[in-house]
Amino acid sequence: IAGITQAPTSQILAAGRRMTLRCTQDMRHNAMYWYRQDLGLGLRLIHYSNTAGTTGKGEVPDGYSVSRANTDDFPLTLASAVPSQTSVYFCASSDSMALSSYNEQFFGPGTRLTVL
């Protein structure tokens, strides 16, 4: 079934530990995104990638890094987790190059991360 998968589903992490959230899509979308969702703050963009090999900073990039080695995968790494990074993380993708597309974003199921 086409879509986006994220792993893990949830994770409890000690502060200071390194963590990589995985995201894979099989829709051959060129663009991918990472958001964090916190109560009352909506969805905030962390990093994005318009195409394999390129990445860009979003609204709240500090403490996070991404890579886009190929079209399908877009991992998000927390180099040294802090409690303020406790959140729900969503990966999304879109086919921003398609002329007939609405450029709608397709979201993965999310990763619930708790940093203690």
Partner 1 sequence: GQQVMQIPQYQHVQEGEDFTTYCNSSTTLSNIQWYKQRPGGHPVFLIQLVKSGEVKKQKRLTFQFGEAKKNSSLHITATQTTDVGTYFCAGPGTGTASKLTFGTGTRLQVTL
Q: Which is nearer to partner 1, 22 or 44 (CB)?
A: 44
Sequence-separated (6 or more) residues with CB below 8 Å from residue 60:
36, 44, 45, 46
Place of tokens 């190929």: 70
Q: Which is nearer to partner 1, 33 or 64 (CB)?
A: 33
Q: How far is the CB of 31 from partner 1 (least distance, A)?
A: 4
By the rule CB under 8 A, 22 interacts with partner 1: no
CA distance 37 to 67: 21
By the rule CB under 8 A, 40 interacts with partner 1: yes
Name the amino acid, one letter, at 95: D
Q: Phi and psi (nearest 5°) for 84?
A: -70, -10
Residues that bind partner 1 in the complex, under the rule CB under 8 A: 31, 33, 35, 40-45, 48, 50, 56, 58-59, 90, 92, 94, 96, 102-110
